[in-house]
A and B are shown apart, each in its own frame.
Chain A
């Protein structure tokens, strides 16, 4: 076989494999969307679930998912940012840095159900947080932290060293350079990373089953005092999320329209995750453009 044929053959194989990957995704997406989208309605998206009769919605689960995501990001972003700044800007090669990096790698490869069970034992049982949004948010933080740290670290590493040299040549301290030069320049790619990880957190179920719980008590959307038990903002209430809801009704749902609810909820979940992915790229590109032009 001469070089030209070999090249053609290899290219063909690579194209086919990439095509198969794309095809799997398209097939799965269209299956879920085709099955689910017909069940979507404003009523479905906003009304509470019903356990025994048809016509229930996913309103509370949807709200829970977003609220849990918000709390998780509020906890994990500052920690991930600080860790990434340390690792990329301050850490020198040494034992401590190696240990930190190894810890992050191991944390990122922990199965999420293990993280969930750990969260159950420590926060739900030991700390008496109960099945609550707070327990769930902390468990998701464990799950999210390594990925977010890695992604922010990569964003910082992409900023050329010339920028750091420019800062120190102007008599700026390393801290001033990091805060006012490196971070702003890295914002587009940090935002992309955060939104992408938000998509992952949004779809997570296993870590939440034993932490945020599997029940979605009725909420009073007129009560925004976070200390009231029926307030949507109360972080100590149990909160079944959309992904957990899908798992739950598929394993033990007894409402007559269970397959319709499941298909609709799956479609919503997929659509939201897709929106996160697309908007992450768009947002990043937009911020980058804003930064580099007028």
Chain B
């Protein structure tokens, strides 16, 4: 694979006076920004779980969020489409298409159709494969059978599941294997034609083969979707993402092009993490 990255320890690159933080300058002149956050803070009760969340995500790229458990990366991700509503307090701005979506005035249900999400454990509905994909659409008034059929086929193809299930679309989705179920869930999210796809450790509950299939799927999807993925698997981050953000103790420590993060990180802490010294 062209973008495979050599993961040997890179401590020799880190100078003595490494900066404490480094955030890549995603200038709007040079990059098309799909989503950006400004001063994002997340509280669980009085507990500050995330601060200094300033990130911009480039369109049609894959961005990985890495960091140890409890570093705030999932909290950050779940804030992006307001899945933390009612769970945590999120302060700050999340800008999508020039609009701050972290305000009361936003219709979160409508917004989530543009910013979809896939979770760690596959969560298909207790419905048929077909209905899993069409359900959210029919709730929004898409009832034309032919249109639905097309959407089902397209999204299952995009999720690389079509060939495996095309003859049993009426089978219960609960009968699928873990890897198939996760790809079905991705297809289900894609059926709404979102702009941005958020994935929270989508392959950590899967075996290596299914995991590789999900990765291939994501690489395919990159041409049409902006993807932000939380992962514990650093090889995965290195393999599939264009940008990587390293989270530590609720802060973004370093955000840069993936190849830079994995070959010559600017911050000593990042280097410690990717070379396996903690986390």
Chain A residues engaging chain B, CB cutoff 8 angstroms:
160, 162-163, 165-166, 168-173, 176, 180-181, 184-185, 291-294
Contacts and interface: CB of A to CB of B under 8 A. Distances in A.
Contacts of B42: none
A185 B135 CA distance: 14
A181 B138 CA distance: 13
B125 A181 contact: yes
B81 A169 contact: yes
Contacts of A293: 171-172, 174-175
Contact of B127 (A168, A173, A184): A184
Contacts of B139: 172, 176, 180
A156 to B, nearest CB: 13
Contacts of A181: 125-126, 135
Given A292-B175, A293-B172, A172 B126 contact: no
Contact of A166 (B109, B119, B140): B119
Interface of B: 81, 83, 108-113, 116-119, 121, 123-127, 135-136, 139-140, 168, 170-172, 174-175, 185, 188-189, 192
A172 B137 CA distance: 10
Contact of A170 (B127, B170, B171, B189): B189
Contacts of A170: 112-113, 116, 135-136, 188-189, 192
Given A166-B119, A168-B83, A294 B175 contact: yes
Nearest to B138: A180
Contacts of B192: 170-171
Task: List 3 A-B pairs, minimum CB-CB distance, nearest first.
Answer: A162-B123, A169-B117, A185-B126
Contacts of B135: 170, 180-181
B125 A292 contact: no
Contacts of B123: 160, 162-163, 165-166
Contacts of B172: 291-294
Nearest to A163: B123
B126 A171 contact: no
Contacts of B108: 171
